[in-house]
Amino acid sequence: MPTARPYVPAQPTLGWAQLRAPARPLSEHPFSAASVSWTHLGRSALHLAARVLGLEGKEVLVPAYHHGVEVDALLAAGAHPTFYEVGRRWALDLEDLEGRIGHRTGGLVLTHFAGFPGPASQVRALADRYGLVLIEDCAQALLSTDGEIPVGTTGDAAVFSLRKTLPVPHGGALVFNGLRGFQLPPVRSPAAGPTARGLLSRVLLRGEFRLPSQGAALRRLGAWLDRHFGSPRAGRPPAVESGFDRQQLALGASPLVERVARAHALASVVERRRRNFFHLLGALRGGSPPLVNELPPGVCPLFYPLWVEDKDEVLARLRAENVEAGPGWRAFHSRCDGGEFPEASRLRKHVLELPCHQDLGPAHVAHVARVTLRALSRDRTWRSRAAEG
């Protein structure tokens, strides 16, 4: 255990050892796929997929439980996103989905939430029945497999995001399954400065993670770098995701990002995430009914989804205990009328994201579990008081 009170960042951090490690060939999907293209972000990959697959001017059905940038990426490609419901346990109602297919529909997007594979073969069958294109959104499912089958091998195209699973500031991947002879537009390499600053913020985050008692000093250093060089703050990697920037569509992936990705032993990233998720599942299932009851073989979990009554309250309690949890997707995209999707609304209101990433050891996860159980018992007290009142 590093100290009596560990600091648990929401995202994986970057060490010098990884920066120095030799780059190796990546044998895991999607990097090993014959048709893989590295992209600047997951959203860029989705934008390209929609363009290459001819979705311009067509309706594309997207889950009502979405981040929002994927909707923007489709809009930028000239597609018209419409939405379908996602149930409490991320379940798809295939009948509801089928009922929404109309004569203008050209494609379906299937999102694999938090690394857990969605029903790809059933949605593939539906797409085939109606002659639709299927895109798998694997932005949250890098390195996941559905049993033996890598996630993202069923759709006409699959898109991935690197920066959620690995300590990189950007990076995405696009895979076409079966499509040959497509041409992608040329892209520019991103400027070295922002990439280096993004990597530095993950290095500073590693410092804060390893030396939690120096956290304040590292944050001061981050703020100083921020003032003098426009570097992001320590402990708070830049929020690429906050908005959709069309200019990013002209960019590719930096060689620095590829290098850092290649320095990782990806199998051990999966193994550690699974170990941490199991620990949280065992420890927390009594405190809040789990959204997913099990961890099927092959899943590389992005986070542990926790159902709470009052998200802000629980997040604040975790933060007070040095645990950075993610707030989850709170808002519908402006094109999506949330009132039509009560189940997705509930997910937005109640699910937060506990870290289970590869940097965390057993002591960190035990700390997360302990403080979460404490926060949950207050959450329950609040709920029962509210019910009495």
Ligand X SMILES: Cc1ncc(COP(=O)(O)O)c(C=O)c1O
Nearer to ligand X, 67 or 272 (CB): 67
Q: Are 107 and 366 in contact (CB under 8 A)?
A: no
Nearer to ligand X, 10 or 371 (CB): 10
Nearer to ligand X, 43 or 202 (CB): 43
Nearer to ligand X, 41 or 50 (CB): 41
- In whole angstroms, the minimum distance from the beta carbon of 239 to ligand X comes to 10
- In whole angstroms, the minimum distance from the beta carbon of 119 to ligand X comes to 16
Neighbours of 246 (CB within 10 A): 10
- In whole angstroms, the minimum distance from the beta carbon of 17 to ligand X comes to 25
Neighbours of 89 (CB within 10 A): 16
Q: Give residues in contact with ligand X (CB under 6 A).
A: 41-43, 67, 69-70, 111, 137, 139-140, 161, 163, 172, 240-241
Question: Which residues, other chains included, contact 190 with Cβ-Cβ below 8 Å and sequence gap of 6+?
Answer: 40, 170, 251, 252, 253, 254
Alpha helices in 211-265 (DSSP H): 215-229, 255-262
Secondary structure of residue 311 in the 3-state scheme? helix
Task: List the one residue out of 208, 71, 45 whose CA is nearest residue 142.
Answer: 45
- In whole angstroms, the minimum distance from the beta carbon of 33 to ligand X comes to 18
Q: How many helices (H) and strands (E) does the chain have?
A: 12, 11
Q: What are the DSSP E strand ranges found in the chain?
A: 37-39, 59-63, 80-84, 105-111, 133-138, 145-146, 149-150, 157-161, 172-176, 304-307, 351-354
Nearer to ligand X, 81 or 212 (CB): 81
- In whole angstroms, the minimum distance from the beta carbon of 327 to ligand X comes to 12
Nearer to ligand X, 187 or 376 (CB): 187
